[in-house]
C-alpha cells in the first residue's frame, strides 16, 4: 500500500510517499524561510502564494523520486488543520483533485497527529520502537501540547501553553533582537557561544493545571533586559545585515552579536528547555509512561536534545531526526496509514480547519 501525503499548513510545501506504514520512499520539502525571514514571522498572504507556486513541482518530485505513478496509490492524505487557512486550502484543494481524478480515497490528517507519528515512525526505523502508554510533547511554532498516548492513534490532552507556543517564543525573541524568522534555528546555533547561566529568568507560579506551559513571561523578561541596555545600534546592525542578505550565515550573525547578547540567547534557550522538560517529565510520571516522544519544530533544538538525553527522565525519550521534526509530509503519510486501514476517509467537501484540535 502506498500513500501520497501533502502538507501545507504553514510555511513549508511538502509531499511524501510512504509504502506499507514505514518505508519512506520520498519526502520533499520546499521551505519559504527566505520569503518570510525579514518580516520576523510568516506573512499569510505570501505563504499562500508560495504554496501555489510550489505545490505542483513538489508533488511531482515526490512521485518521481519514489518511482510512483498515480495509479500505484492506495490513498491521498493531506493536512486538514490546524494552520493558516489560506495555506491549508492549497494543499487540501490539490489533494482533493488528485483523489477525485485517481478515484483514490482522501485521508484527512490533523497536523499535530502528524508530528506525533513522525516520532513513532522514526523510532521504529531506528530499531527502538516507542513503548505505550507514551507521553507526547509537541512543541512547534503554533503549539506546545502534552498528550497522553495510550496507544498509537489515541490521545488525551494533559496540558498546553496558556499563551505563546515554545517555537513562537524563540521566533519573537529573535525578532525583538533583530534576527531573522524562524528564530529557533538561529538561537540554536548561536546559544553555544554564550553562557547559559549568565541571565537568570524566574518563572511565575501558575494556578491550575501544573502541566500547562507559559512562555510570555520569559518573552517579557527578555524585552525588559533589552530595554534596560539600550541595544538600538546592535539591533539595527542585525536588521541591516538581514536587509542585505535574506539568510545570513552563523559567522555573519556572530559578527554583529556581542557576548552579552550571546549570553542572553543561551540563558533564554536554557529557560525554554527547562520549562519543556520539567512538565514533560511530570506528565510521564503522572501517567506512568513507558516512553516520552518529543516532536514539532522545537524538537530539532540541539540543546533540548542534549539535555533530554542527560536529564533524569522517568522513561526513555524519542526524538525524530531534525528533518522529520520540522514540518514535512512523511509524518502526514505515517499518521494516515492507520486511518486508511480503518477505512476512515474524508468526504471531498471537507473544509480546511484553522483551529482544529486533536482531542
Ligand atoms: O513544526 P514546525 O516546523 O511548524 C509548525 O507547525 O509551527 O515548527 C516551526 C517552529 C518555529 O517556531 C521555529 O523557530 C522552531 O519550530 N524551530 C526551532 C528549531 N528549529 C525550528 N526552535 C528551536 N530550535 C531549533 N533548532
Ligand atoms: Zn508543525
Taking residues 175-204, report their average pLDDT.
95
Which residues, 6+ apart, have CB-to-CB distance to 7 below 8 Å? 13, 14, 15, 78, 79, 91, 111, 114, 327, 328, 329, 331, 332
Percent of the chain at pLDDT above 90?
Answer: 96
Taking residues 303-324, report their average pLDDT.
96
Q: Is residue 32 in contact with ligand 1, taking CB distance under 6 Å?
A: no
Taking alpha carbons only, the member of 51, 49, 35, 11 closest to residue 247 is: 35
pTM to 2 decimals? 0.96
pLDDT at 203: 75
Taking alpha carbons only, the member of 222, 141, 132, 144 closest to residue 182 is: 141
Q: Is residue 301 in contact with ligand 1, taking CB distance under 6 Å?
A: yes
Instruction: Tell which one of 170, 189, 322 to mutate to probe ligand 1, the residue whose CB is within 8 A of the most ligand atoms.
Output: 170
- What is the 300 CA–ligand 1 centroid distance (Å)? 8
When pLDDT is cut at 50, 70 and 90, the band that residue 296 belongs to is very high
Q: Where in the chain are all domains bearing CATH 3.30.420.40?
A: 2-115+325-342, 132-315
Taking residues 25-35, report their average pLDDT.
95
Taking residues 151-163, report their average pLDDT.
96
Residues 15-33 as b or e (16 or more Cβ within 10 Å = b) = bbbbbebeebbbbbbbbbe
Taking residues 274-299, report their average pLDDT.
98
Q: Name the strand (E) or helix (H) holding 81.
A: strand 75-81
pLDDT at 206: 82
Q: Is residue 144 in contact with ligand 1, taking CB distance under 6 Å?
A: no
pLDDT at 2: 98
Q: Judge whether 303 and 188 are in contact, CB under 8 Å.
A: yes
**Residue nearest atom 16 of ligand 1, based on CA coordinates:** 297
- What is the 169 CA–ligand 2 centroid distance (Å)? 15
pLDDT at 204: 72
Q: Is residue 40 in contact with ligand 1, taking CB distance under 6 Å?
A: no
The three three-digit cell numbers of residue 64, written as one number: 518521481
**Residue nearest atom 6 of ligand 1, based on CA coordinates:** 140
Cα 64 to Cα 206: distance, rounded to the nearest angstrom = 51
**CATH architecture for segment(s) 132-315:** 2-Layer Sandwich (3.30)
Residue 246 has pLDDT above 90, yes or no: no
Q: Is residue 142 in contact with ligand 1, taking CB distance under 6 Å?
A: yes
Residue 281 has pLDDT above 90, yes or no: yes
pLDDT at 173: 98
Please, how many CA atoms are within 13 Å of residue 213, restricted to the half-sphere of its CB? 34
Q: Is residue 114 in contact with ligand 1, taking CB distance under 6 Å?
A: no
Taking residues 246-252, report their average pLDDT.
95
Residue 212 DSSP class: -
Looking at domain 2-115+325-342, its CATH class is alpha beta
Amino acid at each position: 500500500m502506498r500513500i501520497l501525503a501533502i502538507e501545507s499548513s504553514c510555511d513549508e510545501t511538502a509531499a511524501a510517499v510512504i509504502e506499507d506504514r514505514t518505508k519512506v520512499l520520498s519526502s520533499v520539502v520546499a521551505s519559504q524561510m527566505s520569503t518570510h525571514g525579514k518580516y520576523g514571522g510568516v506573512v499569510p498572504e505570501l505563504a499562500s502564494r508560495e504554496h501555489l507556486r510550489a505545490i505542483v513541482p513538489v508533488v511531482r518530485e515526490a512521485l518521481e523520486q519514489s518511482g510512483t505513478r498515480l495509479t500505484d496509490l492506495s490513498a491521498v492524505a493531506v493536512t486538514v488543520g490546524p494552520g493558516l487557512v489560506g495555506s491549508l486550502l492549497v494543499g487540501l484543494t490539490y489533494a482533493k483533485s488528485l483523489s477525485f481524478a485517481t478515484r483514490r480515497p482522501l485521508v484527512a490528517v490533523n497536523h499535530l497527529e502528524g508530528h506525533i507519528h513522525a516520532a513513532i515512525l522514526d523510532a521504529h526505523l531506528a530499531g527502538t520502537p516507542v513503548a505505550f502508554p507514551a507521553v507526547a510533547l509537541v512543541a512547534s511554532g503554533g503549539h506546545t501540547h502534552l498528550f497522553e498516548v495510550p496507544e498509537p492513534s489515541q490521545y488525551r490532552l494533559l496540558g498546553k501553553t496558556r499563551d505563546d507556543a515554545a517555537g513562537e517564543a524563540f521566533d519573537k525573541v529573535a525578532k525583538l533582537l533583530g534576527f531573522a524568522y524562524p528564530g529557533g534555528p538561529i538561537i540554536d546555533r548561536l546559544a553555544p557561544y554564550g553562557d547559559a547561566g549568565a541571565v537568570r529568568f524566574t518563572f511565575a507560579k501558575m494556578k491550575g493545571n501544573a502541566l500547562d506551559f507559559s512562555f510570555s513571561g520569559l518573552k517579557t523578561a527578555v524585552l525588559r533586559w533589552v530595554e534596560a541596555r539600550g541595544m538600538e545600534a546592535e539591533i539595527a546592525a542585525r536588521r541591516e545585515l538581514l536587509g542585505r542578505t535574506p539568510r545570513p550565515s552563523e559567522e555573519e550573525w556572530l559578527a554583529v552579536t556581542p557576548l552579552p547578547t550571546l549570553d542572553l540567547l543561551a540563558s533564554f534557550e536554557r529557560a525554554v528547555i527547562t520549562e519543556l522538560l520539567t512538565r514533560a517529565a511530570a506528565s510521564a510520571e503522572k501517567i506512568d509512561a513507558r516512553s516520552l516522544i518529543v516532536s514539532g519544530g522545537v524538537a530539532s533544538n540541539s540543546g533540548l536534545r542534549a539535555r533530554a538525553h542527560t536529564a533524569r527522565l522517568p522513561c526513555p525519550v524519542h526524538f525524530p531526526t531534525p528533518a522529520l521534526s520540522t514540518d514535512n509530509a512523511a509524518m502526514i503519510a505515517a499518521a494516515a496509514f492507520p486511518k486508511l486501514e480503518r477505512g476512515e476517509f474524508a468526504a471531498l467537501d471537507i473544509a480546511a480547519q484553522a483551529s482544529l484540535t486533536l482531542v
